[in-house]
């Protein structure tokens, strides 16, 4: 049986027909579905390019193909291409295919409306919360309040009508977007055992410079990189010797660099761009003393789990799945520069606390080892295949 997987991610396609990704969703990601399904067809936006950089990863491969959706960026471009997008989505689905939609996603919303008219069952993988994505300060768009009302409403409809749902959180997303049928919570993080360090970080009282690290998109502001820059600037003005490394890219990267300069901390904040996933990111985590992700929204942040696996103390906001990773004393309310600055200072000036955080985070990361979670995912995929086969049989 073939499984159709829809998601809101953009890929590049080179003239040889191969599909590439810069960060997430390489070919190894799709192999998890091949443990249960015979073929995987990924329905996503594709951009045709002459070549990709050497650090990009191939996403297509044996038994994994891609159905191209017209490339668009943002709601305005989507509206201009909406009819073409809907036609492409519907054309990718066969009457006997299993359907798994990674949501929230506009592509998935278009497909759900089509499937409902045919009573075709589908499953969802819920990976983020659109209500928080469009919280004040997280995105700069005149229709932000409308989006914050509309997209959660759409996601609730999709989940309510799904035959099965898997959530990346243990409870946060389930509470807001319930599925009336079969539902489980399984993290989407792929954390190979070799990515976990053998022991927590030792107590260190000799640090002259405290190195902070941020890993996240700069395409929008919902991960609050601007709030972090202002908080670090406030700490430095109060006498803390901090260095911040920011990993990620997007349309706001130059604006964030300008913000750092305007805060007189341009020499203390380095925007490193999008590093190749894996070893390069891990090396930067290992060189850092504190990971900070003060987002307005999260599902279950992969970057934070990967930082915890390196025994890195972590500071996050109390949104989405972060409270399932961190205790209350290691979290802040999103969007408050002063509170974030105080919490950073509180942590980095307490070496014993940082050692405790390291040990606790490493122990928590053990729960997200891929060999522990893979069987739960496989059981879910078996459920989706079985219910689809039963539905197909009922039509004959």
**Do residue 171 and residue 219 come from a single domain?**
no
β partners of residue 269: 244
Res 277: pLDDT: 59
Token output for 182: 């079969």
**Do residue 348 and residue 277 come from a single domain?**
yes
- What is the C-alpha separation between 201 and 351, in angstroms, rounded? 11
Residues 6+ apart with CB under 8 A from 90: 111, 114
**Do residue 99 and residue 77 come from a single domain?**
yes
**Do residue 280 and residue 298 come from a single domain?**
yes
**Do residue 246 and residue 176 come from a single domain?**
no
Whether the CB-CB separation of 315 and 331 falls below 8 Å is answered with: yes
Q: Per residue, what are the HEC states of 41-60? A: EEEEEEEECCCCCCCCEECC
- What is the C-alpha separation between 200 and 340, in angstroms, rounded? 25
Whether the CB-CB separation of 116 and 19 falls below 8 Å is answered with: no
Residues 6+ apart with CB under 8 A from 316: 292, 293, 294, 295, 298, 301, 304, 322, 325, 326, 330, 331, 332
Whether the CB-CB separation of 4 and 41 falls below 8 Å is answered with: yes
**Do residue 187 and residue 233 come from a single domain?**
no
Among the listed residues 12, 23, 17, 16, the one whose alpha carbon sits nearest the alpha carbon of residue 49: 12
**Do residue 102 and residue 140 come from a single domain?**
yes
Per-residue burial over 168-205, b if 16 or more Cβ lie within 10 Å, else e, is: bbeebbbebbebeeebebbbbbbbeeebbbeebbeeee
Between strands 2-13 and 19-21, the pairing is antiparallel
Distances (CA, A) of 167 to 175, 242, 308: 10, 36, 21
Whether the predicted model's global pTM rises above the 0.85 cut: no
- Sign of the CA dihedral 102, 108, 113, 119? negative
**Do residue 214 and residue 180 come from a single domain?**
no
**Do residue 150 and residue 15 come from a single domain?**
yes
Beta strands in 175-266 (DSSP E): 182-185, 210-215, 242-247
**Do residue 176 and residue 105 come from a single domain?**
yes
Among the listed residues 189, 171, 161, 182, the one whose alpha carbon sits nearest the alpha carbon of residue 381: 182
CATH, residue 355: 3.40.50.2000
Query: What's the CA dihedral at 351, 357, 360, 366 to 10 degrees?
Result: -120
Domain that holds residue 208: 193-367
How many separate domains does the chain show? 2
Token output for 330: 């290691």
Q: Averaged in consecutive runs of 10 residues, what is the pLDDT profile of the chain (396 residues)? A: 95 97 91 97 96 92 96 83 92 95 92 90 94 78 85 95 95 93 88 89 87 92 95 96 94 94 96 80 94 92 95 96 96 96 97 97 92 88 97 90
Give the number of residues written for the chain. Answer: 396
Query: What's the CA dihedral at 73, 74, 75, 80 to 10 degrees?
Result: -20
**Do residue 177 and residue 111 come from a single domain?**
yes
β partners of residue 57: 21
**Do residue 221 and residue 346 come from a single domain?**
yes
Q: Which helix (H) or strand (E) holds 104?
A: none
DSSP-derived letter for residue 135 is S
Res 23: pLDDT: 79
Query: Would you tell me how many other CB atoms lie within 10 Å of the CB of residue 95?
Result: 8
Helix, coil or strand: residue 349: coil
- For residue 104, is the peptide bond before it cis, meaning its omega torsion is within 30 degrees of 0? yes
β partners of residue 243: 211
Among the listed residues 60, 300, 35, the one whose alpha carbon sits nearest the alpha carbon of residue 188: 300
Among the listed residues 376, 21, 392, 3, the one whose alpha carbon sits nearest the alpha carbon of residue 182: 376
β partners of residue 11: 46
């Amino acid at each position: 049986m073939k499984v159709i997987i829809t998601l809101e991610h953009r890929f590049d396609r080179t003239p040889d027909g191969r599909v590439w990704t810069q960060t997430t969703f390489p070919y190894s990601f799709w192999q998890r579905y091949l443990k249960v399904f015979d073929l995987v067809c990924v329905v996503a936006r594709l951009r045709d390019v002459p070549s990709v950089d050497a650090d990009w990863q191939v996403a297509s491969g044996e038994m994994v193909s891609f159905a191209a959706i017209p490339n668009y960026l943002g709601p305005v471009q989507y509206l201009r291409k909406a009819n073409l997008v809907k036609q492409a989505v519907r054309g990718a689905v066969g009457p006997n295919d299993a359907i798994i939609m990674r949501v929230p996603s506009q592509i998935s919303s278009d497909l759900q409306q089509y499937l409902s008219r045919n009573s075709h069952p589908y499953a969802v993988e819920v990976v983020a919360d659109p209500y928080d994505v469009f919280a004040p300060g997280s995105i700069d768009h005149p229709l932000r309040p409308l989006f914050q009302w509309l997209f959660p409403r759409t996601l609730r409809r999709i989940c309510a009508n799904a035959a099965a749902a898997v959530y990346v959180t243990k409870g946060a997303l389930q509470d807001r977007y319930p599925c009336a049928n079969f539902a489980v919570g399984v993290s989407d993080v792929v954390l190979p055992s070799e990515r976990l360090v053998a022991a927590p970080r030792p107590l260190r009282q000799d640090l002259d410079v405290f190195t902070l690290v941020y890993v996240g998109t700069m395409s929008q502001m919902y991960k609050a990189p601007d709030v972090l820059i202002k908080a670090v600037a406030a700490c430095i003005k109060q006498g803390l010797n901090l260095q911040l490394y920011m990993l990620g890219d997007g349309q706001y990267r130059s604006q964030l660099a300008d913000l750092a300069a305007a805060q007189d901390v341009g020499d203390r904040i380095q925007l490193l761009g999008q590093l190749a996933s894996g070893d390069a990111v891990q090396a930067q985590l290992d060189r850092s003393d504190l990971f900070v992700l003060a987002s307005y929204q999260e599902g279950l942040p992969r970057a934070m789990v990967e930082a915890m696996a390196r025994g890195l103390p972590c500071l996050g906001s109390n949104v989405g799945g972060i409270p399932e990773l961190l205790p209350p004393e290691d979290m802040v309310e999103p969007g408050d520069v002063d509170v974030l600055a105080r919490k950073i200072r509180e942590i980095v000036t307490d070496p014993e606390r940082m050692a405790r955080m390291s040990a606790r985070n490493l122990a928590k990361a053990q729960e997200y080892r891929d060999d522990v979670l893979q069987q739960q995912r496989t059981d879910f995929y078996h459920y989706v295949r079985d219910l689809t086969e039963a539905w197909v049989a009922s039509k004959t």
